[in-house]
Chain A
Amino acid sequence: MRLLYTEKQNQFRAEVREWLAANLPGQPLASFDTPEGFEQHRAWERKLSEKGFSAVTWPKDLGGRGCDLIEWLIFEEEYWAAGSPLRVNQNGVFLLAPTLMEYGTPEQKARFLPRMATAEDIWAQGWSEPGAGSDMAAIRSRAQRDNGHYVVNGQKVWSTRAVWADWIFGLFRTDPNSQRHHGLTFLLMPLKTPGITIRPIKQLNGLPGFAEIFFDDVKVPVENRIGEEGQGWSIAMATAGFERGLMLRSPARFQQTARQLVELYRRHREEADADPGIRDAVIKSWMDAEAYALATYRTACRLAKGGHIGAEASTNKIFWSELDLLMHETAMRILGARGELMPDAADGGDIGAWLDGFLFSLAGPIYAGTNEIQRNIIAERMLGLPRA
């Protein structure tokens, strides 16, 4: 055990810090769930990609920086500590890319990954359907093979970033007689393909952060298929594993929220202490954000030594989503009656982005597999309890 950074790692940290200080946008970007904000975030991703920073763990020839997981953690620490923008292409970079790296052909990698790194293509995901949420194996959208194409019909829903994104990845039923997780295939397609209709869905904050997508005889070339026909479920489960697992939610983001919470508490210490539970929740927030960081470093080091992530990835998702809720609920308690004020309220004082963050923290236990589903996975696959 050696919990020290190497000289090279320290240099990398310094490089990231200096670059961010010199290149961060002077003004906060508009929300990426608005048309202008979406394009501002795309431009920021492109800027990041000039240094290989939009996808630091990818090989350099695909647009990344060739970093290992410890360097990724360092990058994330500097990124969030500097107050950098949210990542508009995280569906692509953190969810699809690991799948492409593992299951994509060399041609597919060369075709999709560099354009993803530069945000020329921003990706939306197409998992859920009206009848297939937690029960994802109930997917009904069909893709029927017709020579060199699939013809796609059906409907996807809760598709994050889909309103302005360029491409979508998802699962479609290629074998009409198949049941459950059999007969599903992993397909990629441009959202501008004829036959695709996108209907934005307003989220709690009033912005269209996700969408419904309707497919009406949409032609998708066979070369846009990842893996073999009918293999889609196991490939998607691998993607879901990445999402729950290491990379989608780096600890640094929660540590930054914990820091902001501690600072908020320090500024309002006297009034906050009138509610004794607040102080305890602030300490707990710091503790759990640190615990999440320590656990992630440990996992990264185990992976570097040849280990792998199993069902314990499901513990991550529960832990960070509940931590995020705790931190935002606590901030709202400190803000008290100012908590309901929108960010542009003239007399909000130091309300910051807590309200928006609070709303978003409510989504954490729901998306990427609800926490109830995660608890089932932990109980069955990690603890070995019998299925229902």
Chain B
Amino acid sequence: MDFTFDEQQLAFRDAIRKFLMVEAAPEWLREIWETTETGRSAELRAKLADQGLTALSVPEEFGGINVGDLDWTLVQQELGYFAIPDSLTATAYLGVYLLNHLPADVALKREWLPRIAAGQARVAVGHPINPMVADAKNADLLLLWHEGEVHALSPAQATLRMNPSIDLSRRLYKIEWTPSEATRVCKATIGQKLWAGTIDRAGLAISAQLIGLAQRMLDLGVDHAAQRKQFGKPIGSFQAVKHHMADVAVKVEFAEPVVHRAAYALAQDDPRAPVYVSQARLAAGEAALLAARKSIQVHGAMGYTWEADLQMFMKRAWALNATWGDSKFHKARLAAAVLADDARVGPGATFA
């Protein structure tokens, strides 16, 4: 029994954290999504690729480093903490997962995996669990669900209609396209399982990002409460304010291990992984939504402004929390597992 990450995993996480702290200042991120149509930056993508992030899941034979869901989870927490506006997750985690698991003779892998690893291709992934496809227009490759099958096409083969989100960093598209023999890369018998795996990995990535976002909103709230003075002292010295922040700290503390267990279960192909992912989604979502709610309260009127950075993290949390399965989806999965008459629950069932 070892519920810790190894030194190498933590060192990689620390390096990414330091890198993002320096290279992804909120002012620059705002500039990216306020001044570009795509909301994405080639420069930021190149920097992420330099850190190896685009190559994480790609097998070594295709130029990648082939690490697993656990390493990704630590990275995702940092992507959330710094609210990175990039299609990295869809490209390098979900897209690569789908491509990796396509039948061996599919030329698509050889064509795309090396380019993804090198940071030279963006992938958008579309599944009806989401009404929109994020970053579809800016993608080089669309991987789309159709009746359980996997289809691959270029954005030019589809009609895309942009739908604005409250999170200005997101670029969401309603997509119309015609499935054909030419676009199909995987039949439904295999595709069903791949899409289930994609939903779970998206869920894991979002859970981890939500933990990062919750931690960031907590840190922003604490910073503000320590600096802002009223009645002649920092508002963070008042118990009513302290307790808002303490409540968030409790939620984050007990959501993070749930996310890490889900990551382990997915990495091990544990048949209970979907339940654990839904548990992680709900726990991390609860932490992030509470962090948003409490942090805006502690910020006072400043928290309600465009100017304060809090909005970047708050809006990302609201948006992510409802994609790749909203609370209705995840709670239904959990209920089916926990409330079934033959479900094994209780002491000793946690890892058994």
Using a CB–CB distance below 8 Å, which chain A residues touch chain B?
A: 1-6, 9, 13, 70, 74, 76-78, 80-81, 251-253, 255-256, 258-259, 262, 265-266, 269, 279-280, 282-283, 286-288, 290-295, 297-298, 300-302, 305, 312, 315, 318-319, 372, 374-376, 378-380, 382-388
Contacts and interface: CB of A to CB of B under 8 A. Distances in A.
B345 interface: yes
23 contacts: A3-B2, A3-B261, A3-B351, A74-B348, A76-B347, A77-B348, A78-B348, A80-B347, A252-B348, A262-B343, A265-B339, A266-B341, A283-B339, A290-B258, A295-B257, A297-B350, A312-B253, A376-B242, A378-B250, A379-B243, A383-B222, A385-B236, A387-B237
A4 B243 CA distance: 37
B1 A305 contact: no
A251 B5 CA distance: 22
Given A80-B347, A298-B260, A388-B238, A286 B338 contact: yes
Q: Which of B335, B343, B347 has the most CB of A within 10 A?
A: B347
Contacts of B172: none
B108 interface: no
A283 B331 contact: yes
A384 B1 contact: no
Nearest to B343: A262
Given A318-B250, A372-B239, A385-B245, A255 B347 contact: yes
Interface residues of B, number: 50
B28 interface: no
B251 to A, nearest CB: 9
A77 B347 CA distance: 5
Q: Which of B260, B343, B350 has the most CB of A within 10 A?
A: B350
A258 B238 contact: no
A13 B236 CA distance: 47
Contact of B1 (A81, A295, A301, A302): A301
Nearest to A71: B1
Given A77-B347, A286-B338, A385-B225, A319 B250 contact: yes
A379 B236 contact: yes
A375 B243 contact: yes
B346 A385 contact: no
B278 to A, nearest CB: 10
B291 to A, nearest CB: 12
Contact of A291 (B245, B258, B346, B349): B258
Give the dominant DSSP class at B's interface: helix
Nearest to A82: B347
A319 B1 CA distance: 24
A92 B255 CA distance: 32
Contacts of A2: 1-2
B3 interface: yes
Contacts of A286: 338, 345
Nearest to B341: A266
Nearest to A317: B250
B56 interface: no
Contact of B345 (A258, A292, A376, A385): A258
Contacts of B338: 262, 282-283, 286
A247 to B, nearest CB: 16
Contact of B242 (A292, A298, A380): A380
A282 B236 CA distance: 35
Interface in B240-285: 241-243, 245-247, 249-250, 253-255, 257-258, 260-261, 264, 279, 282-283
Nearest to A257: B346
Nearest to A81: B347
B4 A1 contact: yes
Given A294-B261, A298-B257, A385-B242, 11 more contacts: A3-B1, A3-B3, A81-B347, A252-B347, A266-B341, A290-B279, A294-B257, A315-B254, A319-B253, A376-B246, A379-B246
Contact of A262 (B5, B237, B339): B339
Contacts of A382: 249
Ordered nearest first, which 9 A-B pairs have the shortest CB separation?
A259-B346, A379-B242, A375-B246, A77-B347, A252-B347, A378-B246, A385-B236, A294-B257, A301-B3
B118 interface: no
Q: Which of A253, A279, A292, A385 has the most CB of B within 10 A?
A: A385
B250 A287 contact: no
Given A286-B345, A292-B254, A298-B4, A386 B226 contact: yes
A2 B5 CA distance: 9
B234 interface: yes
B162 interface: no
Contacts of A255: 345-347, 349-350
B231 to A, nearest CB: 11
Contacts of B283: 287, 291
B334 interface: yes
A301 B2 CA distance: 6
A241 to B, nearest CB: 16
Contact of B237 (A80, A302, A374, A385): A385
Nearest to A305: B4
Nearest to A280: B331
A1 B245 contact: no
B242 A70 contact: no
B70 interface: yes
